[in-house]
Amino acid sequence: MRGDGTPRHLVDVDDLSREELLAVLDRAAALKGYVERGDPHRYLDGQTLGMVFEKPSTRTRVSFETGMTQLGGHAIFLGPDDIGLGGREPVKDIARTLSQYVDCVMARVFDHDDVVELAEYATVPVVNGLTDDAHPCQTLADLLTVRETVGLDASVAWVGDGNNVAQSFVLGAALAGVDLTVAAPDGYGIDPAVLDRAAELGTAPETTDDPAAAVADADVVYTDVWVSMGQEGEREEKLAVFEDGGFQVNDALLSETDAQVMHCLPAHRGEEITDAVVESDRALVWQQAENRLHAQKALLTWLLD
């Protein structure tokens, strides 16, 4: 909450300042330590998180629900059959109604504007659990993982589609001071407006269509699926473009580097990344997945503090 009692929201990661982002990462590291030691940390005792889902989920639902339990609170799952955003009921009405019952709302939906509208009308904090444009909670976990392994002064290469995960990571990297290069085929890169926002926050990433050049000096190589939810109709076209361009993260691409590898999951093994790389000692994917829990708990306690 702000000093005047109005709620803070996380619609995208740059809703945080650099100082606030680093404070959330510090808090996430502390909460992770509590879990590892078995120390109770019921900072949200008696509080409730309303979780609005339009898209299927493994990590988002389980990490938020488990996180609220560990913090002493409660989470309510509201699936597509429970709430029809903008269909059965206007988004603004849902925002105002949920605000009477819960202490925070997390929404994992298709249309980014729906989360923007939820935040506009809600009187409690709203967290973007994923939209077609952004995935800020994933970025918090990613930055925590980078900080734990190679430090935020590291060099990271994004290899693949300039999707919602990539766009939030671009903004998070600019805030945190991470040196980032984005390698994507022509026409599949980061939205120019996001690059402009990154430049205003710190430094926009270097961009290229050459994945080998991008990973050459990288400490971490990050990839995600080439075909995101809702893009199934573009599948064959996108697979051909990315395969022909050599964008698969495989042993050959990584042969000249000691870089570790991140993937936000789920992975389409054999497409954007090989099974061998996911199962290798390079992979940080399970650490990333765990860090969703700790980063989101830190965010919730920060928003509700």
User: Domains of the chain by range and CATH?
Assistant: 13-133+292-304 (3.40.50.1370), 136-288 (3.40.50.1370)
Q: What is the pLDDT of residues 80-135, one digit of tens each?
A: 888 877 677 899 999 999 999 999 999 999 999 999 999 999 999 999 999 999 99
pLDDT value of position 213: 97
Question: Active-site residue among 8, 9, 135, 282?
Answer: 135
Cα–Cα distance for residue pair 134/157, rounded to 1 Å: 19
Average pLDDT for the chain:
95
Question: Active-site residue among 260, 292, 294, 296?
Answer: 292
Question: Active-site residue among 8, 27, 59, 108?
Answer: 108
In the predicted structure, residue 280 carries a pLDDT above the cut 70: yes
Residue type, 271: E
Structural Rg of the chain based on CA atoms: 19
Q: pLDDT above 90 covers what percent of the chain?
A: 90
In the predicted structure, residue 230 carries a pLDDT above the cut 70: no
pLDDT value of position 271: 96
Q: What is the pLDDT of residues 169-207, one digit of tens each?
A: 999 999 999 999 999 999 999 999 999 999 999 999 999
Active site residue 138: yes
Cα–Cα distance for residue pair 266/273, rounded to 1 Å: 11
Active site residue 294: no
Residue type, 87: G
Cα–Cα distance for residue pair 225/268, rounded to 1 Å: 6
Question: Active-site residue among 264, 288, 294, 296?
Answer: 264
Q: Decide: 133 and 167 in contact? Cβ < 8 Å.
A: yes
Active site residue 108: yes
Confidence band (pLDDT; 50, 70, 90) for 6?
Answer: confident
Q: What is the pLDDT of residues 42-69, one digit of tens each?
A: 999 999 999 999 988 999 999 999 999 9
Active site residue 27: no
Confidence band (pLDDT; 50, 70, 90) for 2?
Answer: low
Active site residue 224: yes
pLDDT value of position 296: 98
Confidence band (pLDDT; 50, 70, 90) for 161?
Answer: very high
pLDDT value of position 1: 56
Pairs from 165-168 (Cβ < 8 Å, separation ≥ 24): 165/135, 165/138, 165/139, 165/224, 165/264, 166/190, 166/224, 167/133, 167/134, 167/191, 167/194, 168/12, 168/13, 168/134, 168/135, 168/136, 168/138, 168/139
